[in-house]
Amino acid sequence: GAVVSQHPSRVICKSGTSVKIECRSLDFQATTMFWYRQFPKQSLMLMATSNEGSKATYEQGVEKDKFLINHASLTLSTLTVTSAHPEDSSFYICSALSRARSYEQYFGPGTRLTVT
Amino acid sequence: GQQLNQSPQSMFIQEGEDVSMNCTSSSIFNTWLWYKQDPGEGPVLLIALYKAGELTSNGRLTAQFGITRKDSFLNISASIPSDVGIYFCAGLVSGNTPLVFGKGTRLSVIA
């Protein structure tokens, strides 16, 4: 199956610092990637849709200046959490859309962010 | 926004038993997907359904796309301990739109 990687898998940072999370599609091109946030024992919550070469589309209630998304190539999208606060601690998961596979979405393994 | 109602929320079964879970929606989806998520991992695609009425199998897993396009079910036959995890249904309206997720079914298998 299609492979999506995320880096780092877990990160601990101090309050006020910024953290960048990378999402890569390893064996297919992804013109669209999605970023999700997941709280314990809950479903995935869509944060934004990232399209290669254009600005991301953010869901209602998600601050675009706080969660910066860059989709610079067909295989890489990055999410930067700026000026992180403890309430930003969460599990962040990306998914990549494969047009070659009938628009199936493949998920990365997730990034556990802890802000102290 | 669109929502999927997934049930049951959780289930405890004996190893070897069959399992059934389903999702319903008030609106139509053109693709239904079933994912499994292990703790601390991202969801893994199990089965994708593209046509109303379609019945698809993947090993011990069988899923169907409801004829009204508003529901789908997933069956797991002869459950084993590694089936433990959270199963999510997801609906897709069109190509590059976001998935709409159900709230998940947490499956526990007792050996």
Shortest alpha-carbon distance between residue A98 and chain B (Å): 9
Among residues B40, B80, B42, B37, which one has the least CA distance to residue B61? Answer: B80
Q: What is the pLDDT of residues A83-95, one digit of tens each?
A: 999 999 999 999 9
Chain B CB within 8 Å of residue A4 CB: yes
d(CA B16, CA B12): 12
Residues 6+ apart with CB under 8 A from A98: A2, A25, A28, A30, A104, A105, A106
Measured CA angle at B18 (ends B12, B23), to 5 deg: 75
pLDDT of residue B62: 98
Chain B CB within 8 Å of residue A33 CB: no
Among residues A116, A114, A94, which one has the least CA distance to residue A2? Answer: A94
Q: Answer whether residue B15 shows pLDDT above 60.
A: yes
Is A102 in contact with B48 (Cβ distance < 8 A)? yes
pLDDT of residue B90: 94
Q: What is the pLDDT of residues A41-61, one digit of tens each?
A: 888 999 999 988 888 999 999
Which residue in B5, B37, B49 has the most chain A C-beta atoms within 10 A of its own C-beta, making it the best mutation to test that interface?
B37
Query: Percentage of residues in chain B with pLDDT exceeding 90?
Result: 87
d(CA A61, CA A5): 27
